[in-house]
Chains A and B, each alone.
Chain A
Amino acid sequence: MTTAAFGTHNWGMVVDVDKCIGCNACVVACQAENNIPINTQDRVERARSIAWIRVERYWIGDFPDAKAQFIPIMCQHCENAPCEPVCPVYATYHDAEGMNIQVYNRCVGTRYCANGCPYIVRFFNYWEPVWPESLRNHLNPDVTVRSRGIMEKCSFCVHRIRRVARGARSAGVEIADGAIQTACSSACPTSALNFGNFNDPNSKVSKMRDDKRHYTLLDQFGTDPNVIYLAKIDANKKVGAGEASSHG
Chain B
Amino acid sequence: MQQRRELDQVYTNRKLLNGQLDTPKWWAPTVSILGVIVLLGLIVIAIMINKGLGVTGLSRPVYWGLFITTFVFWVGISHAGIMISAILRLTQAEWRRPVTRAAELLTVFSLLTALVFPLIHAGRPWRIAYWIMPYDVARGIYPNIRSPLIMDPVAISTYLIGSSLFLYIALLPDLGNLRDRTAGWKNAMYTVLALGWRGNPRQWKMQTVGGILLSALMLPIFVSVHSIVSWDFAIAAAVEGWHSTIFAPYFVIGAVHSGVSAVVTMMALMRWLWKWDDFIRPEHFDALARPLIVVATGWLGFTFLELTFALYGQDAPEIALREMQMFEWPWNLLFIIFFLTAYAIPVPMWLFKRVRTNIALMFWTSILVNIGMWLERFLIIVPGLARRTPFVYTWEAYRPSAVEWTIFIWSFAWVTFLMLLFSKFFPLVPLFEQKESQVFTDDVMIGRAKVPAIVREAD
Q: Which residues of A does B touch, CB under 8 Å?
A: 46-49, 54, 56, 58, 73, 82, 85-90, 106-112, 114-120, 123-128, 147-151, 218, 221-223
**In the complex, which residues of chain B have a beta carbon less than 8 angstroms from the beta carbon of A147?**
124
Question: Which of the 9-residue segments B18-26, B169-177, B184-192, B388-396 touches chain A?
Answer: B388-396
Task: Specify which of B53, B132, B238, B391 is in contact with A89 (CB 8 Å cutoff).
Answer: B132
Partner of A87, one of B121, B147, B235, B238: B147
A103's closest neighbor in chain B, by CB? Answer: B141
B143 touching A89 by the CB < 8 A rule? yes
- Contact yes or no, B124 A108, CB < 8 A: yes
Using Cβ atoms and an 8 Å threshold, which residues of chain B touch A124? 53, 58, 60, 63, 123
Q: A115, B123: Cβ atoms under 8 Å?
A: no
Contact of B237 with A116 in the complex, beta carbons under 8 Å:
yes
Asked if B364 is at the interface of the complex by the 8 Å CB criterion, the answer is: no
Decide yes or no whether B144 CB sits under 8 A from chain A. yes
- Contact B61–A47 (Cβ < 8 Å): yes
Judging by beta carbons under 8 Å apart, are A48 and B122 in contact? no
Closest Cβ–Cβ distance, residue B51 to chain A (whole Å)? 8
Nearest-neighbour CB distance to chain A for B155, whole angstroms, equals: 14
Q: How far is the CB of A130 from chain B (nearest CB, A)?
A: 12
Interface residues of chain B: helix, strand, loop or mixed (majority): loop
Report Cα–Cα, A183/B123, bound state, in Å. 28
A112–B149 touching, CB < 8 Å: yes
Interface: B301 (CB within 8 A): no
Q: How many A-B residue pairs have CB under 8 A?
A: 134
In the complex, which of the residues A73, A117, A125 contacts B238, with contact meaning CB atoms closer than 8 Å? A117
**Contact between chains at B131 and A106 (CB < 8 Å):** yes
- State whether A47 and B53 are in contact (beta carbons under 8 Å apart), knowing that A85-B146, A110-B149, A120-B61 are contacts in the complex: no
Give the residues from 110 to 144 in chain B that come closer than 8 angstroms, CB to CB, to chain A: 118, 121-125, 127-128, 131-132, 141, 143-144
Q: Which residues of B contact A48 (CB under 8 A)?
A: 54, 59-60
> Which of B122, B123, B148, B237 lies in contact with A82, CB distance below 8 A?
B237
Closest to B236 in A: A116
Cα A106 to Cα B132 with chains together (Å): 10
The reply to whether A108 and B54 form a contact with Cβ atoms under 8 Å apart is no
Scoring B residues 303 to 346 as 1 if CB is less than 8 Å from chain A, else 0, what string do you get?
Answer: 00000000000000000000000000000000000000000000
B206 to chain A, nearest CB (A): 39
Find out whether the CB atom of A46 lies under 8 angstroms from the CB atom of B143.
no
Could you tell me if A108 and B123 are in contact, using CB atoms closer than 8 angstroms?
A: yes
For the complex with contacts A86-B236, A89-B131, A89-B143, 11 further pairs of A-B residues with Cβ separation under 8 Å are: A86-B235, A87-B149, A88-B143, A110-B118, A115-B236, A124-B60, A126-B58, A127-B54, A147-B124, A149-B122, A221-B237
The listed residue (A56, A109, A116, A221) touching B391 by CB distance below 8 A is: A56
Cα(A121)–Cα(B144), bound, Å: 22
Q: A126-B52, A149-B122 are in contact. Are A111 and B390 (CB under 8 A)?
A: no
Q: Are B239 and A115 in contact (CB under 8 A)?
A: yes
Q: Determine whether the beta carbon of B235 is less than 8 Å from that of A118.
A: no
Is B150 on the interface with A (CB-CB < 8 A)? yes
Residues on B with C-beta less than 8 A from A114 are: 60, 63
B396 touches A47 (CB 8 A): yes
Quick check: B147 and A86 within 8 Å, CB to CB? yes
The yes or no answer to B77 lying at the interface (CB within 8 A) is no
Q: Evaluate contact between B238 and A88: CB separation under 8 angstroms.
A: no
B residues less than 8 Å from A221 (CB atoms): 237-238
Q: Is the CB of A149 within 8 A of B52?
A: yes
> Which chain B positions have C-beta within 8 A of A90?
141, 143-144
User: Is B64 engaged at the interface, CB distance under 8 Å to the other chain?
Assistant: yes
**Inter-subunit contact A87/B144 (CB<8 Å):** yes
A111, B396: Cα distance in complex, Å: 16
Chain A neighbourhood of B147, CB < 8 A: 85-88, 112
Chain B nearest CB, measured from A48 CB (Å): 6
Known A109-B53, A110-B149, A218-B238: A47·B59 in contact at CB below 8 Å: yes
| Set of chain A residues within 8 Å of B396, measured between Cβ atoms | 47
Known contacts being A110-B149, A120-B60, A221-B238, is A149 close to B392, with CB within 8 Å?
no
26 A-B contacts (beta carbon < 8 Å):
A47-B60, A56-B393, A82-B236, A82-B238, A85-B146, A86-B146, A88-B147, A89-B143, A108-B122, A108-B124, A110-B123, A114-B63, A115-B236, A116-B239, A117-B238, A118-B239, A118-B390, A120-B61, A123-B60, A125-B123, A126-B52, A126-B53, A148-B54, A149-B122, A218-B238, A221-B237
B238 touches A118 (CB 8 A): yes
Q: How far is the CA of A124 from the CA of B58 in the complex (A)?
A: 10
Which residue of chain A has its CB nearest to the CB of B118?
Answer: A110
Tell yes or no: B72 within 8 A of A by CB: no
Is A119 a contact of B144 with CB atoms below 8 Å?
A: no
Is B385 positioned at the interface, with any CB of A under 8 Å from its CB?
Answer: yes
List chain B residues, Cβ under 8 A from A126.
Answer: 52-54, 58
Q: Write the nearest CB–CB distance from B122 to chain A, whole angstroms.
A: 5
Shortest CB distance B64–A (Å): 6
Is A109 within 8 A of B124, CB to CB?
yes
Are B394's CB and A120's CB within 8 A?
A: yes
Given contacts A120-B61, A124-B123, contact A58 B392 (CB under 8 A): yes
Knowing A47-B394, A108-B128, the reply to whether A115 touches B64 (Cβ < 8 A) is: yes
Closest A residue, CB atoms, query B62: A47
A11–B54 alpha-carbon span in the complex (Å): 35
Interface centre among B123, B125, B147 (most CB of A within 10 A): B123
